[in-house]
Structure 1
Amino acid sequence: MFYFKLNEDAELRLLELRHAENLFHLTDRSRNYLREWLPWVDVIKEKSNSKEFIEGTMKQFSNNNGFQAGIWYKGELAGVIGLHGINWANKSTSLGYWLGEEFQGKGLMTNACKSVIEYCFNELNLKRIEIRAATENHKSQAIPEKLGFQKEGCIRSSEFLYNRYVDHYVYGLINEDFNRVTL
């Protein structure tokens, strides 16, 4: 089982089917906020869409291809963090995350990312973790910058978001650099 206590008020737990309603309501409450940077928001129209997402994440975990965990704050689902699959041949992965609008500014995502990074390097023995963030998404960029990632470049027109293409910065962290920073 995947579980991390982040602090007295927050923890990471794998998403389960029983969380589908909570996940849908969190997404729905933050729909306009999330839509600015996440291309999948309009696909989540009802609770069954969140259930399908969770079913896929459970399969991902059982196939040893990463995970998606709920970020829980004071017992309430606040967001999601997870791996976009694991490239076992190269021992690398990429990390994705989002928080509901009302949970911003509490340090939740920085702590969640740090825990997932430690898990990837120390438990999964991965070599590299990548984070991509839209060049205009300064809040998302702040996370890898705080955690010692290197900005490695820009991918132009990387993602289509509803009515426009956005460029992405690519941030990379290798295990030796993380262990040096955290020691």
Structure 2
Amino acid sequence: MFALPLGDDAQLRPLEPWQAREFLEHMDRARPYVDPWIPWATFSTDLATAEATLRRYATATAEDSRRIYGIWLDGTLVGGVMFTSFDTASGVCEIGCWLEEKGAGRGLVTRACRVLIDWAFTERAMSRVEWWVAAGNTRSIEAARRLGMTRDGVLRGRYPYRGTRHDSEIWAVLAEEWPPAQGPAPDVKAELDQLMSTFLRAFTNTGGGRPDVGIVREVFIPQGMIISNVGGEPVIYDLDSFVAPREKILNDGTLTEFSEWEVSERTEIFGTIAHRFSEYRKSGYLNGEWFEGSGHKTTQFIRTPAGWKMSSLSWDDE
């Protein structure tokens, strides 16, 4: 059995029926983080159903139609990646991923997915690799973007889940686009990606979670400026005047199930300064009524002795 190193004492290995008990224990840990978006963990609730899940993939692997692999961190199964479909006739396949909390924030899914995509293009001569994701699944959307994928479109109200119909975003990368075009230095780009991700997650209160709006002060320099250019006149905030009203409405029931995420970005780095132009979407309940929105952000960064920080951010809602 092969084991590919992913760094950080992590490995990518095939996930097979004989590992059903370990898979079940992992699913029990992962359930709170996976099932809000897809019923993946609900397919494996006891040893019999866990083994059945892995047997279905073993059969599909033999048929060359699907495959599944686990991610082990320090010897513990913490997630995985898979080909949810693999159609050699059309040259199109779809990849997916899942992860429990212990494996989050290390880039393991991105590295594992790169292995699958590279294999699909270089070994199997596939033409297109797709990534289907619920429109509100910000972490999955961020992963697709990090893999160099392009959002091809949105299927509105595509499927029902937990009493609500959800949109599906379709992201993809083509063989001629792989590997993605050379961009900014990977370590710097990763640090800027993390800053933006932390900023956006600061306002998330989905699933009853409490937002951490105060973390905005940590990703900005103390003199940071945030500008809303939505109306006729720009509204300029310092950090305190920006944070205070948002902490209130995100915690007093005014704005619930709220999340905001990037759908595309372009980042340019010039020595110790950087600029990022982003397209974003957002959704939630405002005073009990569901809303969705989108817009654009422009963000400036500077490198400080403590690392990269945001210095200013402006946004305009569509």
Tell me if TM exceeds 0.5: yes
Work out the percentage of aligned pairs sharing the same amino acid. 26
**What are the Cα deviations for residues 23-81 of structure 1, in whole angstroms up to 9, with x where unaligned?**
11111122222110112333322111110011111111111123101111111111121
Matched, 1:148 2:148: yes
**What are the Cα deviations for residues 78-128 of structure 1, in whole angstroms up to 9, with x where unaligned?**
112111121112111001110012211111111111111111111111110
Pair 1:48–1:173, CA change in 2 (3 A): same
Give runs of aligned pairs for residues 1-183 of structure 1, distance below 5 A.
3-7=3-7, 9-179=9-179, 181=181
Structure 1 unaligned residues grouped into runs of 5+: none
Q: TM-score if structure 2 supplies the norm length?
A: 0.55
Q: What is the RMSD computed on CA atoms of the aligned residues?
A: 1.8
Superposition deviation, residue 182 in structure 1: 6.3
Secondary structure of the corresponding residue to residue 126 of structure 2:
coil
Larger Rg: 2
- Distance in 2, matches of 1:180 and 1:144, equals 12
* Letter matched to residue 166 of structure 1: H
Superposition deviation, residue 3 in structure 1: 4.4
- Distance in 2, matches of 1:51 and 1:178, equals 35
Which structure has more strand as a fraction of its residues? 2
Superposition deviation, residue 2 in structure 1: 5.8
Contact residue 4 and residue 115 of structure 1 kept, 8 A: no
Alignment coverage as a number of residue pairs: 183
Pair 1:4–1:182, CA change in 2 (3 A): farther
Pair 1:117–1:182, CA change in 2 (3 A): farther
Superposition deviation, residue 178 in structure 1: 1.1
Secondary structure of the corresponding residue to residue 6 of structure 1:
strand
Superposition deviation, residue 8 in structure 1: 5.1
Ranked by relative contact order (alpha carbons within 8 Å, sequence separation 6 or more), the top structure is: 1
Which structure has more helix as a fraction of its residues? 1
Secondary structure of the corresponding residue to residue 124 of structure 1:
coil
Contact residue 34 and residue 40 of structure 2 kept, 8 A: no
Pair 1:105–1:180, CA change in 2 (3 A): closer
Superposition deviation, residue 159 in structure 1: 2.6
Pair 1:126–1:33, CA change in 2 (3 A): same
Contact residue 43 and residue 53 of structure 2 kept, 8 A: no
Q: Which runs of 4+ in 1 moved over 3 A?
A: none
